[in-house]
Every structure is written in structure tokens, then in C-alpha cells.
A and B are shown apart, each in its own frame.
Chain A
Amino acid sequence: MTPDRRLIGSVVTLAVLLLTLAVGFVSHAALRSFEAELKPELEREATIVGSIGAQTLQRALDLGVPFDGLSGLDEYLTTLLATQPGLAYVLLTDAGGRVVARAGEAQAEFRGLPPGSAPPDRGAVTRLLGRSYDAAQPLLANGRLAGWVHVGIARARLDTALGDMRWDVLVVLLVVLLATAEFLRFILSRTVSAPIAMVLRLQARLGAGDWTVRAPGDIGAEAGRVARHLNVLVRRMNDRWERLCWLAAESSAARRTTAILAEVGGKLRFGAATATEGLGAGAASARLPLFLFVFAEQLSTSFNPLHALALAGGDSGVLGAALPIATFVAAVALATPWGGEIVARRGPRAAMMWGILPAAIGHLGAALAPDVASFAVARAVCGAGYAIVTIACQVHLAQEAPRGRVARSLGGFTAAVMTGAVCGTAIGAVLADRLGFRLTYGVSMLVVLGIALLVWAQFAPGGGSAAPRAGLWRSARAAFAEPRFAVLVVLAAIPAKVLLGGFIFFLAPLELRELGLSQAAIGRNVMLYGLCMLPAIVVGAWIADRSGRGGLVIAAAGVLNGAGLMLPLWLAPDIALPGAIIATGVAQGLAAAPMLAIIPDIARGAVGSAAMLSFLRLAERFGSVVGPPAAASLLALGGGRQTMLVLGILSLATAIGYALALLFRSARREDPA
């Protein structure tokens, strides 16, 4: 670990630790006060319902109906119970606490108030009875206590509300931590790592004798002082040199000294600033815009199919609902090569600006779309922007990465994408719950416009080249002619993305809604995917590196994914669905790094690993395009459970096929030996 990475690591860890403690404390306090506020609220509710109920009964008694003569009680109490959601029971006891009539689920341990209990002057007698808040209203006949009306509110309601709150707090905490880490990494990279790296580079050039170079003067803070100090030093050195040259020319031994100085001047270069050592954006600098961009895009992940379904007109438009997801992914796939072109020609900064424009327009279009067709078009425009921005960030990371650390840098790309996805999905669901779907798209647009400002201010222009690129078609043919690549694409990469698009992005939100979950809860569940994927990426890379058997990891991941999707065979849907999401996240995380790591092994000969990588991405996009409509068709044919089973079988079959292909190949390799 380099010093700057260690610095970033420790600062981020410290910040996250402090933040966790602070947010944890505040959340705990908030939850406590929430409980403290909610409890009297519930008691008040029970008292109000009780007093309304008691009024009529009291009127009957006042009209001369004896307590024993009260009739139609069950029907009346049932009506009362239905007036307010969340009431556990309403029941009537006589003065001795014996239950006369009841509605709802009173618990076995319910005991009426003991005989001789004094009626309160006003209001009700409230108490916590088992798992319910109980409010008892007295009934009087001829001035004497005749009975009690009890209204119970289950504590479960409070617990559910608190549980929801806890989840929301946890989600917000997680998002804050991840986002803080991203921002800190960006800021530290700009203010510490990049200036230090610049100073080191400058030092190296000075050491090599080039004293014409200068540090950029526009760096702020401590690094700026160091840079300015360095520039002063360089200028003084140049001045001294000038003076030396002048003194030499003026001296009596001018010829000899000039000759010596000319010899020194030949080895060292002095003079006015001819070049400025660039600050360099640093590899990490593209992570923040990428994180924010993916965040904005993923805000709508948890409700895209729901919004499409609503626009398509109810359950009849299931296939129509898959259309916007399909057009989005198709646009991403089609625009990826084009995005590559733009990046190559104009450089990452310009390409990012080019990509942000359609993304913003797309989000605005999605917010305003009156029907599913225009929504699909808007999502396609978003997709095109997404493709250009992601490829631009990828190229930027690769360009800025120090030699020998390209793979790790690209790992940072995946991490930023996943972090953005996790945060975006979770926050998007919370926003959609409060603002509605359309306004959430509007928020996405605002975030994207913010990124434009960030990129405009922080990224150096340029980086493009007019160099012609190799023929796309020729290199594609060459790539797919390599059997290991073809097998990887067909049996691992494409099925994984079919599952991702079909299950995580399409089926899971719909099925979770079928279970009656709130939008925020759906978002939390879908978020599990990214949450499990993040550590799994690291674990997968570690296993593949240690064992050198990346192929086996990929196959095992496929089997795990398949088994996860078949969970509904054994478990109830409310457990099976999150289980399948977790399994998919873990499996896809495990396979992510080995898939990339295998490419350099395969890419020998005509096709470069970069080209192969882009074809792998293209194939994955294809899988993502096919996934949602495939899942929608299966859903229309058989229902959610069956769709999951079919997708699971597909994953199992392709994973086993991939493992067999690996075995076959290693057997063939061993044969000649």
C-alpha cells in the first residue's frame, strides 16, 4: 500500500467510524423519542375509540336499557373495531370484569378490571396488557358502575412502525457512510494524493536535471504552499545559474569557465518555465462522478417496472412494462461502442459532458412521460447517456491509473458502480415513497446536472487522439473464434446478466409488491443485491487470485445463483424472495472479478484484451436486454414462482455446462502430455 493510499484508507476509516458512532447515537435517540411519542398517541387513539363506543352504550343505559338487556353487542363491537385500523380488540365487560361481548383478537391473558375498580373522573383507565395497550371506559347505570368498554391496540403496530424506522435509519446510515467514503476519497485524492504525486514527479524531473519545469500555481491549501515553495526554489536555482553564467562571462577566465558551464548546461537544463508538471486528476477522481451518476440512474431501479406497469395500464400490460427496461439496456449496449469512439476522439472529459446531456434529458423525459411508449424512449435516451459516461469513466480510470495497477483501478470502477447502485436504489425507494415516482426522476436529473458542473470544474480537458481504431467486426470475429472466450460469454456472462435484468430489475420488485411491501421495503430488498455483491467481488477476486481457478469460481457462482432462484420450492415467498436476491448478489459478485481476470489469459494473438473486454461487456448488455422481456413472457405464461424456477434452472444448466467445458479442456490439455 502506498503512503497516499494508506492515508486515504485511514482517513476514510476514521471518518466512517466517527460518523457511524455519531449517526448511530442520533438514530438511537431519534428512535427512542419516536417510541416515546408514539406510545401516548396509541393510547390516545384507544381512548378515543373507546369513548365513542362507550357513548352509544351509555346512551342505551341512560334510556333505561338494563345492562343485561343490551343486545346486538357483537355486531356493534365489530363495527367499532372496523372504524380504526390497527385495533386489536374491542370488548365489553360487566362491573366485575367478566367479558360479556367481544370483537377482534383479545389475548388469552386478557383480564378485565377487578371488581370494585373506581371509574376515572374523565377519560379512560389505560394500562399495558401483555402485548396490547388497553383503554377501559366505564359505563354507568343509575349512577353506579355497570361495566367497562375495553379497546386494545396491539403493540405489534408500534413494533412494525419502529422496525420500519430502524430499517430506514440503517439504510440512510449505510448510504451516508458509502457516500462519505466516496467524497472523502475524491477530496483527499484532489488535495493530497495528486499534489504529492505531482511533487514526486517534479522531484524526479529536477533530479534528472530538468530545471525548466514548474509546479502548477493554482493548487490550494498545504499542497499549494509546497508547490509554490518548490517553484521559488526552482526559480532561485535558475537565478543562481543565470548569475553564475554572468559571473563566468565577466571573469578573467571567461573562456574556460564558459566552456565548463556549457558542459554542465548540456547535462542540466535551466531556463524560464517551458512546462508545468500537470497535477493529474488521479485515478480516484473519476470515481465520484461515476458514483454520483450511477446513484442518479439507480434512484429509479426499485420502481421502474412498477411505473411502467402503471403507465401500461394495469396487469394487462406486463410485457409492455418490460419494454422500458429493455430499451434502456439496448440503448446502453448500442451506445457503448459509440461512447468508446467519443472517448477516443475527444477525451474523457468531453465524452462525459456528451453523455450527461442525454442522461439528463432522459430523466426529465421519464418524469414527464404520459404513456409507456414515451417512457421507453426516455429510458433509451438515459441508457445512451449511461453508456457514454460509464465508458468515459472507465477510460479515464485506465488512463490515470499508475502503471501496473490498471486492474485494481478498474476494480475501483466496479466498486463505485456498485456503491452508487446500492445507495441509489435505497434512497430512490425512500424518495419515491415520499415524493412519488415522477419527482424522483426529477431528482435524478438534478443530480446528473450537478455532475456536469463537477466534471466541468474538476476534469482536465483533452486526452483524445485521432488515431484510427482497428476494425470492429474483424476483431469481434477473432475474439469469438477463441473457444474459451465464446464459452465464457455464452455459458457464464450472458446467463448472469439475463438473471440480473430478468430477476433483480424486473421480477423481484413486482413479486415483492405482490407480498404487500411498501416501496421503501421493496427498495431495501432489491438493495440486498448490491450489498451482498460488494464484499463478494473482493472475496471472488481473492479466491481466484489465490487458487488460480477463476473458471471454477464462475461455475460455482452459477450453481449458487440457480439454487437461490429455486428457493421458492422450499421456502415461503417472503423468505425465498430476499434469499434469491442475496444469492444472486453473492453469486454475481463472486464471478465478477474472475471473469475479468480470465480475459488477459485468453487474449493472446490477434485480439487485445481491451477489445475482448469490450466484447464481453457487449455480450453482457445483450443478456441484460434479453432478461426483462424473457422474465415478463414467463410471468405472463405461468406466474412469479414459475419464472424464478425457470431462471434458476437456466443458471444451473449453463453453470454445469461451463464446468463441463472447463473439464473437457483441461482433460484435452493433459492428454498430449
Chain B
Amino acid sequence: MTLPRRALLAAPALALARPAAGQARPFRIVMILFRGWEEACDGFRDYFAARRIPVELIVRDIGQDLGRVPAVIAETRAIRPDLVYVWGTSLAIAVLGPWDAPDPARHLTDFPVVFNIVTNPVGNRIVRSHDAPGRPVTGTEYIAPVEVQMRAMARYRTFTKVATTFNPNERNSLSVVRQMHEFLGGGVTELPVALDAGGRPDPASIPDIVAAAKRAGAEWLYIPPDTFLNDHRLALTQSALREALPCFSASERFVQFAEGLAGLVSRYYSVGAFTAFKAEQILRQGRAPETIPVETLTRFSFLIRMETARRLALYPPVGLLRVAETV
């Protein structure tokens, strides 16, 4: 388990911090994670270190198993933290429940919560609206509006047909695909990942899906913010490369740590820091979470993987290189 090491890593940073006047003990934050510690968590932790705010981070990872949520909730209640940090859309839905009808027995309702790496929190009923969450929960979004992503994709390479694949069990992916349809109309080919007998997505179906996308005449393969696909990002992007199909993704890992061609992304690290900024408003300034709007970063990075561009012989337009970040 990596958790003690993470806690240790945080400690030196905290040791440097000069405790704020009147703060008798560090703020206690329980971090409930969906798939382990990653860059967003780094950003969240480093923000406090940089601001010299003493915090005690208690990290709990469910390892993508939502069945472990009730135990974590029970433990959190026992710890009685000052704030709870929840990572990911599916986990946020499971931990918090709908904003207008949470079940106090199953959902966490007793503590202020910030969420991070969540897609469409309003559509997923985590909060009432962006401006007024309607409950002591606030947080950040990390996905650029779908329309903006589609335009960014067209700026690299104009298209009439785009295919997208996703885990049909993930509501965040479904929400993005729906918005794609609304914006592009009939030009979208939906290729959901096949489910096995247990209703779980089957990674073996990925190469076939990419081939199907190519056959459908797609000029791009769009990858929504999807945890299953993230876990199999190498298989997905390498299949696309074999089919000479460029991938455009909504989150950075498909480009940064796989073979995806491009993406309009918020850097996870920055989104994590932004989430910590909201946490600071709650902890230090005493603001009620329900008064803090749910926001997204206003600047996104246009990420381009040059090696993939070279292998596809699909180079970015020169104008795009003025603003793009390359990996």
C-alpha cells in the first residue's frame, strides 16, 4: 500500500509550514480516492504546502470498488474530519448521493466536502447548480465544455465523422457522449465497450472497437473522461495508432502517458490545486461550502504528442503550435 509513503511525503512540506495564528492543530482532511493517488492529489497537497497551511491528510482508496464505499464512510464519520475530499464522478455519486435527497444512512452528509475530477456534477445531481450547490458540497470540474473540445479537435484536423468509445457503466462518459450528439448531430459513431457476463467492461473488445471506428470512416476517435478507458489507455491508443486513427481526449493521461495524438485538457495537477483553493476558503475563511460555486479552470492546455503526429504523418497546423503544449 502506498498510502503511508504519501503521508510521509506530505509531512516534510507540512513541517516547513508556519502554522497560522490561532490554528491549534492541523486541519484534518479525509481524502477518498477512486483509483489511487495521482497528479490531482499532488496538486491538492502541494497547494496547502505552498500556502503554509498545516493539514493532516488521511487517505483512503477504494481501488475502483464502489462496494467499499460504506466502510470508508463509516470510518470517515469516526475520524470526524474538518473536510472530506472526494475524487472522481462515480465515487462522488456513491459517497454524496443526490443533492436534493441524500440518504443520511448511506451518504456522507455531516461534513463539508470538496470534489475533484468530476464530470457534469449538475447533470449527475451531485449539486443543484454551479453557482449554488444547494448542500455543503463544492468542488471543481476539469473537462472543457464539449463544444469547445469539438472545435479544438476541428482546429487540428477538420472532420465530418467522429467515433467515440466509452464504458457504458460510467455516467460521466454517457453525459459527455450525449452532449457530443447535441452539438454534432449525426456525425458521431458511438462504440460502447462490450460488457462481460458480469456486466463489467471487457478490455479485450478495445481493438475491435477501434477497427470498427476506422471502418465507419471516422476521422477522429474521441475519448471521453472515462476511468475504464484510462486504465486501458495504452491498449486503446496503440490500437488507434495501428489503425492510423488519431485520438483526441478530454483528459491529459491519454496523451501524456499513452499514445493519444491530442487533447484539450486541464492539467490534473492544476485542477487539484484549484480544488485545494476551494478547501482553503472553507477551512481558513470559514465560508459555507454551499456558497462557493463549482467551477472549472478557465484555461485549458492543448496537448499534442509529437511522436504520434510523426507516426501518423498528421502534423498540427503551424498556427496551433503557437498555443499548444507538446509532449
Contact = CB atoms under 8 A, between A and B. Distances in A.
B326 A72 contact: no
The range of chain A's interface size is 10 to 19
B221 to A, nearest CB: 20
Given A63-B306, A64-B306, A64-B310, A71 B317 contact: yes
Given A63-B306, A63-B326, A64-B306, A70 B319 contact: no
B315 A60 contact: yes
Nearest to A56: B322
A248 B321 CA distance: 120
B321 A75 contact: no
Interface string B278-322: 000000000000000000000000000010011001011111111
A59 B321 CA distance: 8
A388 to B, nearest CB: 66
Nearest to A57: B318
A66 B310 CA distance: 9
Interface residues of B, number: 13
A79 interface: yes
B318 A70 contact: yes
A71 B320 CA distance: 10
B313 A69 contact: yes
B299 to A, nearest CB: 19
B318 A73 contact: yes
Nearest to A66: B315
Given A63-B306, A63-B326, A64-B310, A69 B315 contact: yes
A264 interface: no
A338 interface: no
A66 B318 CA distance: 12
Contacts of B326: 63
B313 A76 contact: no
Contacts of A64: 306, 310
Contacts of A435: none
Interface string A308-324: 00000000000000000
A69 B319 CA distance: 14
A75 B317 contact: yes
B313 A56 contact: no
Contacts of B306: 63-65
Contacts of A66: 315
A56 B309 CA distance: 17
Interface in A60-111: 60, 63-66, 69-73, 75-76, 79
Contacts of A79: 319
A71 B310 contact: no
Contacts of A73: 318
A661 B257 CA distance: 99
A60 B318 contact: yes
Contacts of B318: 56-57, 60, 70-73, 76
B315 A75 contact: no
B321 A60 contact: yes
Contacts of B319: 56, 72, 75-76, 79
Nearest to A69: B315
Given A63-B326, A64-B310, A56 B315 contact: no
A76 B315 contact: no
A60 B319 CA distance: 10
B317 A65 contact: no
Most chain A CB within 10 A, of B309, B310, B318, B319, is at B318
Given A63-B326, A64-B306, A64-B310, A56 B317 contact: no
A76 B310 contact: no
A75 B320 CA distance: 10
Contacts of B315: 60, 65-66, 69-71
A69 B318 CA distance: 10
B57 to A, nearest CB: 39
Interface string A380-413: 0000000000000000000000000000000000
Contacts of A70: 315, 318
A71 B314 CA distance: 9
Nearest to B155: A72
A75 B319 CA distance: 7
Interface in A24-81: 56-57, 59-60, 63-66, 69-73, 75-76, 79
Contacts of B317: 71-72, 75-76
A79 B322 CA distance: 12
Contacts of A63: 306, 321, 326
Q: Top 7 closest A-B pairs, CB basis?
A: A72-B317, A76-B319, A76-B318, A65-B315, A69-B315, A56-B322, A63-B306
Given A56-B318, A64-B306, A71-B317, 7 more contacts: A56-B322, A63-B321, A69-B313, A69-B315, A70-B318, A71-B315, A72-B319
16 contacts: A56-B319, A56-B321, A57-B318, A59-B321, A64-B310, A65-B315, A66-B315, A69-B315, A70-B315, A71-B315, A71-B317, A72-B316, A72-B317, A73-B318, A76-B319, A79-B319
